[in-house]
Amino acid sequence: MEATKHIVILLVLILLTSAPAQSANGPAAADISNTRTASCVVKITSNPMILPLDDATIDYLLHSTGIGGRVAREVLNISPDQVSDIFKIETLSGAAGRIVPEDRSQRTEGRGQEPELLSSEQLRTAAEQTILFRLLVELGDEVKPAAEEFMDALVGNLRSTLIKAFEDYKLRFGDQLKLAEQEAASAETDLRGKQKTLREISRSRVLDHDKILADIYRLRQNVQTAKMNQASNQVIIDTTTRRIAETQAKIMEQLENDSITIELQKIVELIGRLLIEAERQAEMGKILPSQVNEIKEKLARARIEIAIRRESLSKSIGGNLIESLNKGLADRSITAAQDEASIRSLERQLVEAELLFVKADDYELLSLKADVAKQTLQESILWRDRTSRQIRLLQLPMVSILGGE
């Protein structure tokens, strides 16, 4: 504990040695008070987080080269080494309030040595400390009789030193506030960028791994089923096509060998020859056109009879079967087209689902990063707000002389 106290005092002195003495050039000889003793009560009110003061620290500061030694040289024109012999202090009361230990849990790794951040309760507890001490100056005959001037300058130099320490401490807080604001802005930009990318990846879809995986399995099963149906349907189409061809060939063979059809065909051919001759005779005027028309009618009726015979024979052989097979073939062809369209649609959906599954991996990873970015932003905002609040709560140290003699 004693070593820590000396280290604190040493650090304070390093920071404060540049503070100017209140009487830089010392009073003119004609203006001195001609006093060899002087005393007063000094009240110091300060923030213990800036500079924790106690009787030992006050004594060390006042007798230091930067405060007491400088005043001795500039006011009394004596060596700083003699300052310990010309005044002493007597503590009347210790520090009112307590010094809150540093809460390292509120620091963020990588930010360097920040001024500590305190909670509201800690700030209320450690905002102020007060020390009262009696200062007694006694000058020998060999020293200039300026005890009052020395006392005033000593207190003034102590005040300037404490204010300088306050300003340095507040400046550090200002630097920390700038850093906190920069980090909060950077964290917000980072989080907004990740959120935008997440929206672009998802496109307002729920990228749930398990659901997407179930969709992929279902689509693969549907594709497989559709292809099996397509293959089965194609077998039926091929079989039906062969049966139609075979039945048609059988019908044609029997029609060609049908004796009635053959005789009817001979009649058609004969009437056809008679029609040609009648048309020639009509052109020469040997017969009337009505006679030609009668022959044409006979030819038409003969052809109709052949057609009726073919149809009747075809039905008896298997014509109705061909009609049924053609209707079934047409239905199967429609089903085949529907199967093909369904397979293309399912395969397209499957490709999209597989791509979505990859996006789900990216989405999950980026979501984790976004959560970290959100936490970083929250910590940065908390750090910024606490630092800003502490700057607002900082109070200048006050050094007052009470009852100077």
Q: Give 105's pLDDT tier (boundaries 50, 70, 90).
A: very low
Max Cα–Cα distance, the chain, nearest Å = 182
User: Which residues pair with residue 43 across a beta bridge?
Assistant: 132, 400
Distance of CA 205 to the CA centre of its chain: 17
Q: pLDDT tens digits, residue range 22-70?
A: 443 444 445 788 999 999 999 999 888 777 888 888 999 999 999 999 9
Of 116, 99, 120, the residue nearest 108 (C-alpha): 116
Cβ-contact 158, 61 below 8 angstroms: yes
Compute the half-sphere exposure of residue 59: CA atoms within 13 Å on the CB side of its CA: 14
Quote the pLDDT of residue 99. 38
Quote the pLDDT of residue 319. 58
Which residues lie closer than 8 Å to 292 by C-beta, 6 or more apart?
275, 278, 279, 282
Cβ-contact 272, 299 below 8 angstroms: yes
**How high does pLDDT run on average in the chain?**
79
Q: Give 164's pLDDT tier (boundaries 50, 70, 90).
A: very high
SS (H, E, C) the chain: CHHHHHHHHHHHHHHHCCCCCCCCCCCCHHHCCCECEEEEEEEEEECCCCCCCCHHHHHHHHCCHHHHHHHHHHHCCCCHHHHHHCEEEEEEECCCCCCCCCCHHHCCCCCCCCCCCCCHHHHHHHCCEEEEEEEEEECCCCCCCEHHHHHHHHHHHHHHHHHHHHHHHHHHHHHHHHHHHHHHHHHHHHHHHHHHHHHHHHCCCCCCHHHHHHHHHHHHHHHHHHHHHHHHHHHHHHHHHHHHHHHHHHHHHHHHHCHHHHHHHHHHHHHHHHHHHHHHHHHHCCCCHHHHHHHHHHHHHHHHHHHHHHHHHHHHHCHHHHHHHHHHHHHHHHHHHHHHHHHHHHHHHHHHHHHHHHHHHHHHHHHHHHHHHHHHHHHHHHHHHHHHHHHHHCCCCEEEEECCC
Query: What is the Cα gyration radius of the chain?
Result: 57
Distance of CA 252 to the CA centre of its chain: 78
CB count within 10 Å of CB 244 equals 19
| Amino acid in the structure at residue 357 | F
As a whole number of angstroms, the distance between CA 277 and CA 286 comes to 11
Residue scoring higher pLDDT (27 or 178): 178
Residue scoring higher pLDDT (361 or 14): 361
Q: pLDDT tens digits, residue range 321-352?
A: 677 777 887 888 888 888 889 889 988 988 88
Q: pLDDT tens digits, residue range 129-141?
A: 889 999 999 999 8
As a whole number of angstroms, the distance between CA 316 and CA 209 comes to 64
> What is the value of pTM for the model shown?
0.51
